[in-house]
Structure 1
Amino acid sequence: MDLQAVRTFVAVTEAGGFHKAAADLSVTQQAVSKRIATLEQTLGVRLFTRAPRGAGLTIDGRAFLPHARELLRAAERASASVSPGRRPLRVDVIASRTAQSSLMRGFHGAHPEIVLDVMMLVSMDTAVTALLSGELDATFRAVAAPGRPLPDGIESVRVLDEPLQLLTGPAHALADAPSVTLAGLVGHRVWMPGIAPGTEWGAYYDDLVAEFGLTIEATGPNFGSDALLDTIADTPALATFMGERSRLIWPAGHGLRRIPVTGPTPVYPHSLLWHRDNPHPALTALRTHLAATTAGHDAAGTWVPDWALPR
């Protein structure tokens, strides 16, 4: 059904005639008559009786009027739901206890008036596809891993270099060290069952191993962070890497240690990705907030893969 014709029908009803409705709608009387005729043809009934002193509703016109008004209200609600700034800003943070989630909590604290829809998409391909389709406004990723260029239209900006820390149990040989160098980790077993081949974090750790001769094992099923922490706490021969801003929780009895890594400090390069044609005004607010509240990248004494952008 033509909403323009429905809107014209309501205007004629409220104006009491075609001439006044035409003036209210800033169209010709002929255009009003044509729209009403089209609507009557669509419905198969007459909506008005024409008289020298104006137009009156027929019995069918009176029956149709409340539904016509509801149609127009529904159209207004539908338009408002997707107008820039009216719908929630949809952002992918990958997981709930990561640095990305921490960044979004900071943004929400600074801009509580912006409604957020926080998503957790593990796959970069899924997230980028959602950006291209408009189902997602922004995602946090590491770019650009070898062989994974960003599609046309996708923009990115590096927003955070997150230092890695070594996580050990209380009986690990390095548990009491105030810090550890990458060279000092050679020969120690680092266990990270969450590394998935073909992911950007998989490419990151592959390069870390190749650059510094580390031993990172991704064996065994990934039962999640709780199982990882239980195993690290109970196995003196194993350690794992954790981002400085990761906020995992474990029982006090685990006695886990978070140890800074130096010489150089490996940092994970978090970037914000979005579609350049996305008009959501809150997206600009998010980028401005991140630029103002996160430190710079490529600081002295840090390491990132050569493919991390920008250099």
Structure 2
Amino acid sequence: MDLNAVRTFVAVVDAGQFQDAAAALSVTQQAVSKRIAALEKDLQVRLFTRTARGARLTIDGQAFLPHARELLRVAERADASVRPGRRALRVDVHSRRTAPSVLLQDFHRTYPRIELDVVTLDADFHAATAAVEAGTVDATFHAVPVPVRHLPDAVRAVRMIDEHHELLVGPRHALANARVVTPAQLAAHRIWMPGMVAGTEWASYYDELAAAFGLTIDRVGPAFGNEALLAEIADSAELATLAGERTRYLWPDRYDLRRIPVRDPAPIYPMSLIWRDDNPHPALSTLRDHLSSRRMDTPDEDVWMPKWGQ
């Protein structure tokens, strides 16, 4: 169905006359008449009868009117859902459990009137950056494993999150009762991270972390999801994994899992907000300012991060 014809039909109803509808639509009266005639031909009914006082709806026209208005409302919502500057601010996060999601929820609480569309592209840095460049998303959170000067034209990246690590173990693990652990202590234990995809920036990060401290990062086995991972760790005296300190996990009380900070030095996973500098969305600068104000710097802390994150 021709939406221009439907829009013209509604304009005639609201104006009461073809001439006034033409003025409202900035078209000729002849164009209005042609559109209405085409719509009537398409529907195979008469929508108006002309009187000395203007255009009057027929019974079929009265029946069609609420549906015509709804068609235009749906079209408007569809347009707003994808058009930059009108749609919700669309931000990609790799997981809804991790620090970027936590910070976006804080942003939403601070600015509840800003429409926010949180999506998960399930993409690495390169694919997510391509989505930003294409305008598919307004921004994404990723570690940036390449020099900023190598980013595509107009794409910008600023480090916004320095995520500390925690060791996640079950109650029978040798480190279960430790209040803090060091990377040196972890060298004697198996760190299980199944399903990590080689070639991604997070795989690169953990490769460098393992090399720096002599860690054993075990990627063996398919990933059956966080729930299965937590159940395996809770039942094991040997398995452990690493998680961001702001990553959200839920598990039954009977698991008695322990989250233990890793310090001296504290490994830091650096994440940047990536966006197009020429993106016109009015809420994007608000998001950047909000994240900058929430950035937690720890200049006096002994930290470690990969060379490409510095």
TM-score bracket, normalised by the shorter chain, equals: 0.7 to 0.9
The aligned counterpart of 1:110 is 110
CA contact under 8 A between 2:8 and 2:35: conserved in structure 1?
no
Could you list the runs of 5+ residues in structure 1 that have no partner in the other structure? 45-55, 57-62
CA contact under 8 A between 1:80 and 1:86: conserved in structure 2?
no
Q: List per-residue Cα deviations over 1:14-57 (Å, max 9, x = no partner).
A: 999999999x68x9xxx9989999999xx99xxxxxxxxxxx9x
Structure-1 separation of matches of 2:223 and 2:75: 43
The aligned counterpart of 1:128 is 129
The one-letter amino acid of 1:271's match is: S
Quick one: percent identity of the two aligned structures?
48
For residue 288 of structure 2, give the secondary structure of its aligned residue in structure 1.
helix
Structure-2 separation of matches of 1:36 and 1:86: 32
The one-letter amino acid of 1:153's match is: A
Classify 1:17/1:99 alpha carbon distance in 2 versus 1 (closer, same or farther; 3 Å): closer
Structure-1 separation of matches of 2:71 and 2:104: 33
Structure-2 separation of matches of 1:269 and 1:155: 15
Classify 1:71/1:94 alpha carbon distance in 2 versus 1 (closer, same or farther; 3 Å): same
For residue 190 of structure 1, give the secondary structure of its aligned residue in structure 2.
strand
Structure-2 separation of matches of 1:196 and 1:147: 23
For residue 281 of structure 1, give the secondary structure of its aligned residue in structure 2.
coil
Greater Cα offset, 77-86 or 276-285:
77-86
The aligned counterpart of 1:89 is 89
**Greater gyration radius:** 1
The aligned counterpart of 1:172 is 173
Greater Cα offset, 291-300 or 100-109:
291-300
Q: What is the TM-score with the length of structure 2 in the denominator?
A: 0.75
- 1:253-292 paired onto structure 2 within 5 Å: 253-292=254-293
Structure-1 separation of matches of 2:132 and 2:21: 44
The one-letter amino acid of 2:277's match is: R
The aligned counterpart of 2:189 is 188
Could you list the runs of 5+ residues in structure 2 that have no partner in the other structure? 42-54
For residue 180 of structure 1, give the secondary structure of its aligned residue in structure 2.
coil
Give the deviation of 1:176 after TM superposition: 0.9
For residue 274 of structure 2, give the secondary structure of its aligned residue in structure 1.
strand
CA contact under 8 A between 1:102 and 1:245: conserved in structure 2?
yes
Classify 1:151/1:106 alpha carbon distance in 2 versus 1 (closer, same or farther; 3 Å): same
CA contact under 8 A between 2:21 and 2:32: conserved in structure 1?
no
How many residue pairs get aligned? The number is 301
CA contact under 8 A between 2:159 and 2:272: conserved in structure 1?
yes
CA contact under 8 A between 1:81 and 1:87: conserved in structure 2?
no
- 1:230-269 paired onto structure 2 within 5 Å: 230-269=231-270
1:224 equivalenced with 2:225 (yes/no): yes
CA contact under 8 A between 2:162 and 2:268: conserved in structure 1?
yes
- Runs ≥4 residues deviating over 4 A: 2-22, 31-40, 70-85, 145-149
Q: What is the TM-score with the length of structure 1 in the denominator?
A: 0.75
Classify 1:211/1:36 alpha carbon distance in 2 versus 1 (closer, same or farther; 3 Å): same
Structure-1 separation of matches of 2:8 and 2:173: 78
CA contact under 8 A between 1:189 and 1:215: conserved in structure 2?
yes
Structure-1 separation of matches of 2:9 and 2:240: 73
